[in-house]
């Protein structure tokens, strides 16, 4: 009985000194664990020397002690949970936490959206190189050295004879060489031309080249692809027009224009008061380009298009001046949250 009373007193003292859930658990282990005080009392009892009445009396006292320890531990835990010190302190008058999300450049948003659309249609996503050779940027696209289209491109030439690519079309033959046919691929990326900068022209801009080569590819496939892309990007029907256009690497070639979404066709600085914005040159792949890519033009055909990501972003997000996109102004980018 003296041992039991001493244990009870010691337990109360230890529980009063415990200030955390971890300390309460340590007290429980010291008394009720596998090597705890109460547990060892039961294991170390020599019942062989006890009479029947002594065994009965020991059992009663042991059970009372065990229940006492369990009750005291339970009360200590309950008291701690209801204690003001143990509860989380929340001051409702304080200002909320800053939960601002990050932002992405509008061109990045448009590019990622187009990549998702194209990937769902079975297209590969490749980027190519900013610095290209004359062969891939011009020669393989049916633009030989004396072709007047070279003068139209305003190319940045490097001292080693290479150049900053003037269009993402430079990826066409490289992709055919790498993957063969049939092929579906898009090539988003940055392009460079030595142009005068105004509200709708930049010397650094972004394109997305599309290429599909297979048997029996026609203009109908091209038109269906264009309608699917534009409807998915703008999330509504848009007014477009298709007019003849000349590009050395397609035959026949077309210009796909979109009605200006900034002025709804009324005329503004972005569309040069015409109501239309040149968005997407396209056409059927020229047989010479297929031959440069190691593809038999008598067996295979295909279409290609060059979508202007910069102008597409301007139309989608109602950006009136192309110079805002490369200005590096964080206030501009913060208008386009990454969750969009």
Residue 241 near residue 230 (C-beta atoms within 8 A): no
Residue 274 has pLDDT above 50, yes or no: yes
Highest mean pLDDT among 211-220, 233-242, 312-321 belongs to 211-220
- Spatial CA neighbour of 168 closest among 201, 199, 117, 125: 125
Take residue 61 and report the two structure tokens written for it.
């006292």
Domain ranges of the chain: 2-82, 106-333
- For 73, the enclosing helix (H) or strand (E) is helix 52-82
Q: Which residues of 4-39 are buried (b: 16+ CB within 10 A; e: fewer)?
A: eeebeeebeebbeebeeeeebeebbebbeeeeebbe
Query: Which architecture does CATH list for 106-333?
Result: 2-Layer Sandwich (3.30)
pLDDT at 340: 43
Q: Please classify residue 144 by burial: count the beta carbons closer than 10 Å to its beta carbon, then call 0-12 exposed, 13-18 middle and 19+ buried.
A: exposed
List pLDDT tens digits, range 183-217. Answer: 999 999 999 988 877 776 778 889 999 999 999 99
For the record, the structure tokens of 128 come out as: 């190519």
**What is the rounded CA–CA span in Å between residue 163 and residue 150?**
12
Q: Is 265 helix (H, G, I), strand (E, B) or coil?
A: coil
* Beta carbons within 10 angstroms of residue 81's beta carbon: 10
Sequence-distant (≥ 6) Cβ neighbours of residue 188 within 8 angstroms: 111, 114, 115, 125, 127, 168, 206, 207, 208, 209, 309
Cα 276 from Cα 267, distance rounded (Å): 8
Residues in the chain: 340
pTM, to two decimals: 0.64
Highest mean pLDDT among 48-62, 277-291, 313-327: 277-291
């Amino acid at each position: 009985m003296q041992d039991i009373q001493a244990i009870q007193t010691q337990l109360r003292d230890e529980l009063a000194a415990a200030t955390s859930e971890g300390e309460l658990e340590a007290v429980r282990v010291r008394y009720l664990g596998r090597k705890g005080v109460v547990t060892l009392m039961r294991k170390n009892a020599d019942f062989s020397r006890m009479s029947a009445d002594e065994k009965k009396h020991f059992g009663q006292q042991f059970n009372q002690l065990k229940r006492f320890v369990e009750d005291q531990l339970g009360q200590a835990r309950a008291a701690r949970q209801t204690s003001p010190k143990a509860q989380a302190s929340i001051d409702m008058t304080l200002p909320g936490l800053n939960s601002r999300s990050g932002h992405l450049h509008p061109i990045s948003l448009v590019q990622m959206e187009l990549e998702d659309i194209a990937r769902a249609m079975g297209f590969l996503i490749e980027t190519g190189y900013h610095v290209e050779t004359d062969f891939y940027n011009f020669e393989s696209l049916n633009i030989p050295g004396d072709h007047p289209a070279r003068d139209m491109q305003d190319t940045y030439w490097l001292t080693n004879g290479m150049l900053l690519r003037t269009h993402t079309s430079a990826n066409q033959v490289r992709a055919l060489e790498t993957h063969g046919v049939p092929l579906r691929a898009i090539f988003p990326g940055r392009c460079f031309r030595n142009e005068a900068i105004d509200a709708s022209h930049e010397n650094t801009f972004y394109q997305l080249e599309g290429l599909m080569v297979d048997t029996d590819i026609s203009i109908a496939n091209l038109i269906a692809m264009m309608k699917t892309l534009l409807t998915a990007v703008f999330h509504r029907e848009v007014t477009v027009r298709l007019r003849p256009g000349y590009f050395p690497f397609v035959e026949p070639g077309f210009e796909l224009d979109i009605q200006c979404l900034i002025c709804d066709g009324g005329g503004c600085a972005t569309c040069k008061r015409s109501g239309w914005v040149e968005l997407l040159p396209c056409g059927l792949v020229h047989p010479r380009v297929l031959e440069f890519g190691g593809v038999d033009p008598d067996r295979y055909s295909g279409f290609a298009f060059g979508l202007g990501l910069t102008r597409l972003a301007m139309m989608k997000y109602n950006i009136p001046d192309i110079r805002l996109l490369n200005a590096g102004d964080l206030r501009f980018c913060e208008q386009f949250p990454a969750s969009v």
